[in-house]
Amino acid sequence: MTRNGDILIIGAGIGGIQASHLLSKAGHQVHLVEKTAHIGGTSIKFEDVFPNLECATCMLSPLEQELLQDPNVHLLTLTEVAGLEGGPGDFTVRLRQRARYVNLENCIGCGACYDACPVSTINEFEEGLSQRKAICIPCAGTLPNVPRIDKEVCIRFKGQECVACQQACMFEAVEYGQEDRDIELKVGAVLVAVGSGTMDVRELPHLSYGVHPGVFTSLELERLNASNGPTEGKIQLRDGRAPNRVALVHCVGRRERTLCSGVCCRYLLKFRHYLRHKLPCAEVLEFHGDLCLPNKGDQRFLGEMAPDGEGLVRAEVVRIEVEGDYLKVIHRRDGREAIETVDMVVLSPALTPPKGATELARTLGVELADDGFFVVNGVASSRPGILILGGASGPKDIRETVVEALAAAGGACKAVMEGEDGK
Residues making contact with another protein (CB under 8 A): 18, 22-23, 25-27, 49, 51-52, 54, 59, 63, 65, 69, 105-106, 108, 110, 112, 170-171, 254, 258-263, 290-300, 314, 371, 373, 378-379, 393-395, 397-400, 402-404, 406-407, 409-411, 413-414, 422
In this complex, which beta carbon is closest to another protein, that of residue 24 or of residue 97?
24
> Three-state SS for 281?
coil
In this complex, which beta carbon is closest to another protein, that of residue 2 or of residue 52?
52
Whole-number minimum distance, CB 63 to another protein, in Å? Answer: 7
Longest dimension (CA), the chain: 70
Residue 82 near residue 67, CB atoms below 8 Å: no
Q: Give the integer Cα–Cα distance in Å for 396 and 405.
A: 12
In this complex, which beta carbon is closest to another protein, that of residue 63 or of residue 129?
63
In this complex, which beta carbon is closest to another protein, that of residue 95 or of residue 285?
285
In this complex, which beta carbon is closest to another protein, that of residue 50 or of residue 216?
50
In this complex, which beta carbon is closest to another protein, that of residue 384 or of residue 410?
410
Whole-number minimum distance, CB 110 to another protein, in Å? Answer: 5
Cis, bond preceding 71 (omega within 30 deg of 0): no
Residue 248 near residue 268, CB atoms below 8 Å: yes
Whole-number minimum distance, CB 409 to another protein, in Å? Answer: 5
Q: Give the integer Cα–Cα distance in Å for 76 and 69.
A: 14
In this complex, which beta carbon is closest to another protein, that of residue 119 or of residue 165?
165
Q: Tell me the β-bridge partners of 377.
A: 380
Whole-number minimum distance, CB 142 to another protein, in Å? Answer: 14
Q: Tell me the β-bridge partners of 74.
A: 31
Cα 72–Cα 77–Cα 80 angle in degrees, nearest 5: 105
Whole-number minimum distance, CB 36 to another protein, in Å? Answer: 21
| 395 φ, ψ (degrees, to nearest 5) | -60, 135
Whole-number minimum distance, CB 48 to another protein, in Å? Answer: 12
Handedness of CA 155, 139, 142, 249 (dihedral sign): negative
Whole-number minimum distance, CB 62 to another protein, in Å? Answer: 8
For the chain, first and last CA: distance in Å? 23
Using alpha carbons, select from 337, 298, 293 the residue that is nearest to residue 318.
337
In this complex, which beta carbon is closest to another protein, that of residue 71 or of residue 240?
71
In this complex, which beta carbon is closest to another protein, that of residue 70 or of residue 321?
70
In this complex, which beta carbon is closest to another protein, that of residue 240 or of residue 335?
335
Whole-number minimum distance, CB 147 to another protein, in Å? Answer: 15
Cα 30–Cα 38–Cα 403 angle in degrees, nearest 5: 55
> Three-state SS for 184?
strand
Q: Give the integer Cα–Cα distance in Å for 329 and 114.
A: 41
Whole-number minimum distance, CB 192 to another protein, in Å? Answer: 16
Give 257's Cβ-side CA count (13 Å radius).
23
Please report how the helices 56-69 and 14-25 are oriented relative to each other, as an axis angle in degrees rounded to 10. Answer: 40
For the sheet containing 245-252, what is the strand order? 215-217, 344-349, 245-252, 283-288, 312-314
Q: Give the integer Cα–Cα distance in Å for 338 and 346.
A: 19
Whole-number minimum distance, CB 283 to another protein, in Å? Answer: 21
